[in-house]
Structure 1
Amino acid sequence: MKRLTSYIFAPNPTIQNLLQDAASPKIGREYLIAYCNELVKVLNKDVKKLQSLEWALQMSCINTFRRIISLRSEKLSKFSTISLLWKLVRQQLEKLPPDLSVAFFEEIHHLIKGMRGQSGIYDELRYPQYMDYEGREAAILRSEQLDEMAKKSDSYVKKYLTGLEDEVVQKRIENKKRILKHFKAEEKDWLNYKWHLANVIRNSEQLRSLVQLTQAEIEAIDEAKKFALPFGITPYYVSLMDYEPDRRHDHAIRAQVIPPMNYVAVLAQKADSIDLSCDFMLERATSPVDLVTRRYPNIAILKPYNTCSQICVYCQRNWEIDDVLFPRALASRKKILQAIEWLKAHPSVTEVLVTGGDPLIMNDQRIEFVLSQLAQLKNIERIRIGSRAPVVLPFRITDKLMEVIAKYHQPGRREVALVTHFEHPYEISPESMHAVQQFRTRGMSVYNQTVYTIENSRKFELVALRKYLRLIGVDPYYTFNTKGKEETKSYRVPLARLQQEVKEEARLFPGLVRTDEPVYNVPRLGKNYVRAEQHHHLLSILPDGKRVYEFHPWEKNLSLADSFVDVDVPIYDYLNELERRGENIEDYKTIWYYF
């Protein structure tokens, strides 16, 4: 413990000395805040010693440190960072928290390094040569520098395969043949979405007859079934999996539908109250009437169908879904009409997101009924359909269905748009591209919402997804930080990694490619934009290295609303998992300085 304590204070022994001199954590806080204030004064006077970017980072680290040792942060996070640091300096080992880990020491070490202007981020970077020139000569040198940046980023993007590449297309043709042979089916069956719905894979025995599974995958699926947790995969989506279980390329696809054991264990404990304990977004508190959710002034959600053709493990609404293609998931006409009446009575709602579940799994007649009822409301100028069908069941997007949907898309009067959910470039296929183009060729926009998980968070992995989505006709719309649900812990990525991705990876590509907004979904309130620090603050660092954040409501500056405090996953643990997967952690070294 003494070695770790020396490690965190090594970049700035003054902090350790001040804590040593303090008779209590309270006095230690006063000493350190005074010290931080003095540092800021010095930095604002002397601008010659530090390069401007390092100066800005140093100021950010000082402000962050000052905030996490503040009394306000202590009360909001229910933890005292200053008390822990004070005890560490005194080596009061018996008073240290039992969950104290290396992750905490790494956080404090990097923060203190940053406070001294020693982040090391810019140490190996040479000052751009073009800055010493003017005119055309400067432009040529700058262009050469940009070429190098583009080559480097492109080398990362090329690591990630898509389903449009010849070798992958051929592999999936073989997968399809194997699946059809198993079901004693024909090509015409494969093209019929009803055949896929009738043959959804519902247990490990079925799945292992189509692709190889690890023992851990088999056990997790079996346990999920034992506790009646929703599980199902369409034959088409199985065809996107590689036959071998090494998850080299299909890791995101398998992780999307095969639950990890810790997910099953958590939900098994909540089996009797899953509908209450798993409502992370507190939708009960934002549903003014059955089937409707409203968090914003001009848009509401309508949920006429409460299941899907397959189940995503980290689904926001897993607490509402009983099972894949649950027979009683379809809302009655009476319930739908009651929801429509509510929308009619609230003319400020001009846009409706029809989602669920997956509404496109309903039959054409019921889809027609829902759309026709919405189209009768004069206040509705946009109907958004939320569906994963293009990704998991592209054959559902038939010409007949498109005739139904397209007639309600009336430029100048009413827009109909599709919002889908691709997670990884490996999900993109000729079939999903065709489904997307069914909408695009009829003048309707297609958008994508991505959940940022461990499965798509490697360097430039999300950039690859954006790039190929644009090429098949999909506009990136939102990237959601994985919700802090206990059961999806193994999917979560630190907020700092999402901020890093936006600044250091997405920013290198054209604006039309990086149109998605990174957000954190605040329970009950809605989306918090995380691109800028002004909408959230780092409050504290817990003994196990988890950061505690305060998120501001979207209506800040417009009306009064409470902020929301949430706990992230440790950066140190995340980096260890990336390293286990073969990543070079040096590529992620700036992650500590995104607050």
Structure 2
Amino acid sequence: MNSSRWCADVFREDHRRVLASVQNAADLDAARKAFYHYVTERQYEIHFDEPEHSCFEMAVARDCARVLRSVLAGSSDARVGFSVTQALWDLSRGIARPDLSRAFFAEFSHLLHGLNGTPEGIGLDASALGDISGREAALIRSRELDRIWEGIEAAMARYQSGLEPEAMKRRDQRRRRVQEALGATDQQWGDWRWQVRAIIEDSERLAAAVTLREHERAAVERAVGSGQPFGITPYYASLMDDDPESGRDRAVRAQVIPPVSYVDCMAFHGDRRAEAFDFMREADTSPVDLVTRRYPAIAILKPFNTCPQICVYCQRNWEIERAMAPGAMASRADLEKALGWIREHPAIKEVLVTGGDPLAMGDGPLERIMRGVADIPHVELIRIGTRTPVTLPMRITSALARMLGSFREPGVREVCLVTHVEHVSEVTPEFVAAVDRLRRRGLSVYNQLVFTFYVSRRFESAALRRLLRKCGVEPYYTFAPKAKEEMDEYRVPIARIMQEQQEEARLLPGMRRTDAPVYNVPGLGKNHLRAAQNRDVVSILPDGSRVYEFHPWEKNIVERDSYIGQDVPILTYLERLAAIGEDPAEYSSIWYYY
């Protein structure tokens, strides 16, 4: 798109005054002031001089003005290394900027439309109430709510859970195929130890059990050939459909079959994975081996450095060597040292036992570790991070549930599990039974959702929250995928997470929408996305990426540097949705979430 076309599309007739003032600016500083004054004046006019605007339009204008003032600031130029003001000034003077993409222009088109009280692509239904009040108004409102819920139900019906009869029949057929490929009896299939022994770790065995597309097989071969960890439990392989082009199992496959871009990135960094992929800077927050601490009252204990299944976007992909790697269990000496360190810090009230997946250990070693943590007087809660209910539900035996429940002491110490279910298709009768065994022993079960591209369609995650609550699992966190180099194909714009929370999760009954959307800030921890004061948009890069300044959670407690992070271009995301059959128009309000 050339400069003149951009001016015609974005700087409409009612923007001509800013063009005139900027075109005559003597230097960049003068141009910055002209833009800044224009933005402020337009916001004032929308709020005080143009009564035709609705409260909604005024709110959008306020938000757009705040973002524009932030990205125009000289401090933003310095922090990001790119000047939005320079780009806009150049365009206003007809100077070509071939570096600016369609996504960049799309961002500013929406910002300026919003600033002028004419947000694009958002159609609000007028209320039918008018001047009606009392019982009549209540009945009309109730009919509106029924209509809204009918739309929600229709949207959720697109996503078939693993509990629906058709899905269970398909899964049973898939299980038979996997058993035949691996030579397993029904008794072996139900034995978690056999499942661990039979983990699929190469493309040949995977292709025998799963219908693979050519690019999936190539990616697995390249990953294994370059020494990258890869592993799928037979049970989880049975969740993949024989007709992958249907897209029903898109989220399942994305969990474990890496895209080529991921494989290439991991291979490029080779033996330098720790330096390249330790996004959360665990090396800088580990006061002693096996322990990570980012908050005053919580510590992470990592006694077992492997899993029965490798998630592609694992936070610790730089640490794990292979599925169920020999020697992954910490030595008793290291474990005692770690427990001793926690014992010496009475501020720590909660210990998250994770890894790797601690439930992949045998009952004996796990019980010793749980006992070691429970014997620390100031520990009030033991949280276990595990994906076994999803990847290996037969591991949650009655004996395991009983053992874990034995460490609960009401009024003194609580024990809970946090699992990671991504999609309704992962919720199977086996998963439900595993959760029920835990709950019957008094153990709470929570879910952490990673909001990847593959679960980001309208009402896709809302359907999961609703189903999880019926299974006794409480939604806990919705994580933005980490901005790691190798994660590009999994990431979604922060705006989409905010849109999902406000327009989809918000419509669910209260106990189904209680999770918190967060962005993990390297070295600092969770940045809560619901709170706008925790972040600012400070720039928009030529490729259309928003750049956020994330403020540390303890900013009002102690002085900490903020974190600058680059997001995913909204236009790129919408184009990816279109490529899988979604209508981008259904997501049009995404531009106005910041």
Q: Do these two structures clear the TM 0.5 threshold for a shared fold by scoring above it? A: yes
Specify the SS of the correspondent of 1:130.
coil
1:81 aligns with 2:84: yes
Deviations 1:463-488 (A, max 9, x none): 01101111111000000001000101
SS of structure 2 residue aligned to 1:200: coil
Query: Which amino acid is the alignment partner of residue 230 of structure 1?
Result: P
Contact 1:12 1:116 (C-alpha < 8 Å) held by counterparts? no
Aligned residue in 2 for 1:18? 21
Q: Aligned to 1:30, which of 33, 46, 62?
A: 33
- 1:60 correspondence with 2:63: yes
Report the Cα distance in structure 1 between the residues aligned to 2:408 and 2:241, rounded to whole angstroms.
38
In the alignment, structure 1 residue 50 sits paired with structure 2 residue 41: no
**In structure 2, what is the equivalent of residue 259 of structure 1?**
258
Query: In 2, are the aligned partners of 1:161 and 1:249 still within 8 Å (CA)?
Result: yes
Distance 1:41 1:190 in 2: 68
Match of 2:142 in 1: 143
1:204 — aligned with what? 203
The 1-side partners of 2:563 and 2:53 are apart by 36
* Secondary structure of residue in 1 paired with 2:240: coil
AA aligned to 2:63 is S
Identity of aligned residues (%): 46
**41-50 or 56-65: bigger deviation:** 41-50
Name 1:545's counterpart in structure 2. 544
CA distance, structure 2, for counterparts of residue 126 and residue 165 of structure 1:
34
- Where do 5+ consecutive residues of structure 2 fail to align? none
Distance 1:444 1:88, change over 3 A: same
Cα distance in structure 1, aligned partners of 2:170 and 2:371: 42
Structure 1 partner of 2:9: 7
Equivalent of 1:71 in 71, 74, 97: 74
Q: Deviations over 1:405-439 (max 9, x none)?
A: 11101211211100000011111100011111111
Amino acid at match of 2:8: S
- 1:209-228 equivalences under 5 Å are 209-228=208-227
Is the CA contact 1:247–1:254 (under 8 Å) kept in the aligned structure 2?
A: no
Cα deviation, residue 454, structure 1: 0.4
The equivalent of 1:283 in structure 2 is 282
Counterpart CA distance in 1 for 2:125 and 2:376 is 61
Please show how residues 124-523 of structure 1 align to structure 2 within 5 Å: 124-246=123-245, 248-523=247-522
Q: Which moved more, 1:243-252 or 1:492-501?
A: 243-252
Residue 21 of structure 1 deviates from its aligned partner by: 2.2
Aligned equivalents of 1:431, 1:4: Cα separation in 2: 55
Look up the equivalent residue of 2:470 and give its one-letter code: L
- Between 189-198 and 170-179, the greater mean CA deviation after superposition: 170-179
Q: Would you say the 8 A contact 2:228–2:321 is kept in 1?
A: yes
Matched, 1:574 2:576: no
How does the TM-score come out when normalised to structure 1?
0.97
Q: Distance in 1 between matches of 2:540 and 2:182?
A: 53
- Cα RMSD (Å) of the superposition? 1.2
- The Cα shift of 1:34 comes to 1.6
Larger deviation, residues 57-66 vs 582-591: 57-66
Letter matched to residue 556 of structure 1? K
Per the TM alignment, residue 26 of structure 1 is displaced from its structure 2 partner at its CA by: 2.0
* C-alpha contact (below 8 Å) 2:547/2:565 kept by paired residues: yes
Write the letter of the residue equivalent to 2:413: R
Who is 2:114 aligned against? 114
Amino acid across the alignment from 1:264: V
What amino acid is aligned across from residue 119 of structure 1 in structure 2? P
Q: Aligned letter for 1:356?
A: G
**Aligned-partner SS, 1:447:** strand
Aligned 8 A contact 1:12 1:113 in 2: no
User: How far 1:203 sits from its partner (Å)?
Assistant: 0.8
Question: By how many angstroms is 1:121 displaced?
Answer: 5.1
Superposed counterparts of 1:551-566, under 5 Å: 551-566=550-565
Deviation at residue 45 of structure 1 after TM alignment: 2.7
TM-score by length of 2: 0.98
Q: How far did 1:551 drift?
A: 0.4
SS at match of 1:36: helix
What displacement does 1:352 show? 0.3
Supply the distance in 2 between the matched residues of 1:132 and 1:120 (Cα, whole angstroms).
29
Native 8 Å contact 2:358 2:384 kept in 1: yes
Structure 1 distance, partners of 2:218, 2:16, is 51
Unaligned runs of 5+ in 1: none
Counterpart AA for 1:29? R
Q: Per-residue displacement from partner, 1:322-378 (whole Å, max 9, x unpaired)?
A: 111110111011111100000100011011000000000011110011001111111
Contact (CA 8 Å) 1:5, 1:105: kept in 2 or not?
A: no
Aligned partner letter, 1:20: Q
Q: What is the CA distance between 1:40 and its match in structure 2? A: 3.2
Q: Kindly provide the CA deviation profile for residues 90-134 of structure 1, in whole angstroms up to 9, marking residues without a partner as x.
A: 2322xx354x21000000111011111110455x43421224211
Do 2:42 and 2:116's aligned partners in 1 also have CA atoms closer than 8 Å?
Answer: no
Letter in 1 for 2:33: E
Shift of 1:247: 5.0
How much does 1:157 deviate?
A: 0.8
Q: Distance in 2 between matches of 1:47 and 1:572?
A: 31
Distance 1:184 1:38 in 2: 73
Which amino acid is 1:3 matched to? Answer: R
Secondary structure, in 3 states, of the residue corresponding to 2:167? helix
